[in-house]
Structure 1
Amino acid sequence: MSKPRRPKRPIDGVLLLDKPQGMTSNQILQWVKHRYQAEKAGHTGSLDPLATGVLPICLGEATKYSHYLLEADKSYRTRLRFGQRTNTSDADGEVVEERPVPVITPESLEQVLARFRGDIMQIPSMFSALKQDGRPLYELARAGIEVAREARPVTIFSLTLDALEPPFAELTVCCSKGTYIRNLVEDIGEAIGCGAHVVELRRLSAGPFDLTQAVTPAEIELLEPQGFAALDALLLPPWSGLADWPRVELSESSAYYLRHGNPVRASGLPSEGSVLIFQVEAGCEEFLGIGFVDDDGMLAPKRLLKSSY
């Protein structure tokens, strides 16, 4: 006899998780969804099983804004090994080539790193989550199939050498969306002349979120016996990933018309672009969703929460 299904909850918010090593992003997503009994959940950008660190999990209405976090800049700390190339460009793969490591000094490595700062072109790994004809590249790679990939522009805002103990080095990278750190490491290894792969990778930040705000699965398990109130207290607001966006406050009457799809006049609007919308009345505020400034300079709805209708 099968067990009865656990009832799902319409819980909304962002859980900022410190992802552990050894789990895929989808595995940890399902783990969180189960513990919160959430009706709906999604993550904002995959981390490899090898990687740890900042992984925002969006629950309920927060999933409406998850794709904006996919577009956000991110930062990482990585430990790499020179002299070995693997088929996945990280330590989870098989070593496919070994070469002698030349003498590497902080000065000589810094000269190489300088070539990778700023706008660069990067060819995505076959072990990335990019899709070809609907299938992730890593599925094709595991089946022994390799397909052509076009180089894509990415931006390395900063690339800092933190430690050097050949054949190992540690780097901190701040980069634009779509940057693959293992590809960057492999390219740096080729520029040195001996190849390289990622040994450790930790995401330090994603958009406005950083590790100081993150909780671990162990911390969540400790709170579970206290019930959903304790777990829900860990959640950030659905709009927290967009905290740096302009904010617009509406009265109850203006919010009523906006909820029904009508552009409204509002003070403090930027000249263009998207904004966060709050209804503020008698000192209380309610997040309604996001809107944009239309051609007439009015605030129009773009993506509102269900609860705001």
Structure 2
Amino acid sequence: MSEREAWEATGAIVLIDKPATWTSFDVVAKTRGMLKIKKVGHTGTLDPMATGLLAICVGKATRLADQIQAEEKEYTGAILFGAETDTDDAEGMVTHTSPTAHLTEALIREGAERMIGQQLQSPPNFSARKIGGQRMYKLARKGVAVEAPPRSITVREFQITGVNLPEVEFRIVCSKGTYIRALARDLGRGLESGAHLTALRRTRSGNFHVDEALTMEELRNLLADTKPQGPQE
């Protein structure tokens, strides 16, 4: 039995290291095409700019998608101070700039520590959250101003792992539904300096780690290597 046939028969969770510029749906569609299996879904959207762990549920394992999506997540990335954008990341247009001369490593670390714990978070305007049945990013593209009600999230860890002002690197452990872009935005506002996300990588989702994940090329090679062989002469 080939790998594809086994996954279709019993279900499988395939861990993918999503490349930058790909949407989460791109990964699902490509995986579906490689496997020739219709029942394929992901367990938590990653923005196109982001890389890292995307757990893909195949066949009968799709019933586990909600359970996996509810697990705690871990991310690494970078935040640039001095400017906010309309998307809260480097993909958007700068909406305003702010001074950074007052920022110090100690001040930023203190700001990150203050964000640890349960809190209400307002999503970015460009997000998949629905307002009146429409995705916020679609409304934002039309120039429609909307304000989504904040949701409760929990930040368990927010570590500053590198400092090269006006940019810092971080590691965050948080609950499902947390927008890391919004944390970057709110950190900047709390320090009286705009900020936006410049890099993001998901390293863990529950007990799944990105070190265990396959690239799309590795998945393609795995499936090619396990195709059933014809009869030997």
Q: So what's the TM-score if we normalise by structure 1?
A: 0.69
Cα 1:228–1:116 change in 2 (3 A) is farther
For residue 136 of structure 2, what is the aligned residue in structure 1? 137
Q: Is the 8 A contact 1:10 1:39 kept in 2?
A: no
- Tell me which amino acid in the other structure corresponds to 1:126: N
- Which ranges of structure 2 fall in alignment gaps of 5 or more residues? 1-6, 229-233
User: How far apart are 1:144 and its partner, in Å?
Assistant: 1.3
User: How far apart are 1:193 and its partner, in Å?
Assistant: 1.2
Q: Is the 8 A contact 1:83 1:195 kept in 2?
A: yes
Alpha-carbon displacement from aligned partner over 1:195-224 (angstroms, at most 9, x marks no partner): 000000000111110112111112123334
Q: Is the 8 A contact 1:80 1:197 kept in 2?
A: yes
- Tell me which amino acid in the other structure corresponds to 1:71: A
For residue 213 of structure 1, what is the aligned residue in structure 2? 212
Q: Percent identity?
A: 35
User: Residues 101-120 of structure 1: matches in 2 within 5 Å?
Assistant: 101-120=100-119
User: Residues 122-133 of structure 1: matches in 2 within 5 Å?
Assistant: 122-133=121-132
CA distance in 1, matches of 2:67, 2:222: 30
CA distance in 2, matches of 1:138, 1:227: 41
Task: After the TM superposition, list the runs of 4 or more consecutive aligned residues in structure 1 that deviate by more than 4 angstroms.
Answer: none
Q: Is the 8 A contact 2:112 2:158 kept in 1?
A: yes
For residue 10 of structure 1, what is the aligned residue in structure 2? 8
Larger Rg: 1
User: Residues 1-309 of structure 1: matches in 2 within 5 Å?
Assistant: 10-11=8-9, 12-228=11-227
Q: Is the 8 A contact 1:16 1:215 kept in 2?
A: yes
Q: So what's the TM-score if we normalise by structure 2?
A: 0.90
For residue 4 of structure 1, what is the aligned residue in structure 2? none
CA distance in 2, matches of 1:190, 1:112: 10
Alpha-carbon displacement from aligned partner over 1:108-164 (angstroms, at most 9, x marks no partner): 112211210111111111211111232211111112112121111111001101001
RMSD: 1.4
CA distance in 1, matches of 2:112, 2:224: 49
Q: Is the 8 A contact 2:131 2:148 kept in 1?
A: no
For residue 3 of structure 2, what is the aligned residue in structure 1? none
Cα 1:106–1:88 change in 2 (3 A) is same
Q: Secondary structure at the match of 2:168?
A: strand
Alpha-carbon displacement from aligned partner over 1:8-44 (angstroms, at most 9, x marks no partner): x835201100000001101111011100111201100
Q: Secondary structure at the match of 2:189?
A: helix
CA distance in 2, matches of 1:133, 1:189: 30
Q: Larger deviation: 165-174 or 147-156?
A: 147-156
Q: Secondary structure at the match of 2:8?
A: coil
Aligned length in residues: 221
CA distance in 1, matches of 2:195, 2:25: 28
CA distance in 2, matches of 1:38, 1:222: 17
Q: Secondary structure at the match of 1:155?
A: strand
- Tell me which amino acid in the other structure corresponds to 2:188: G
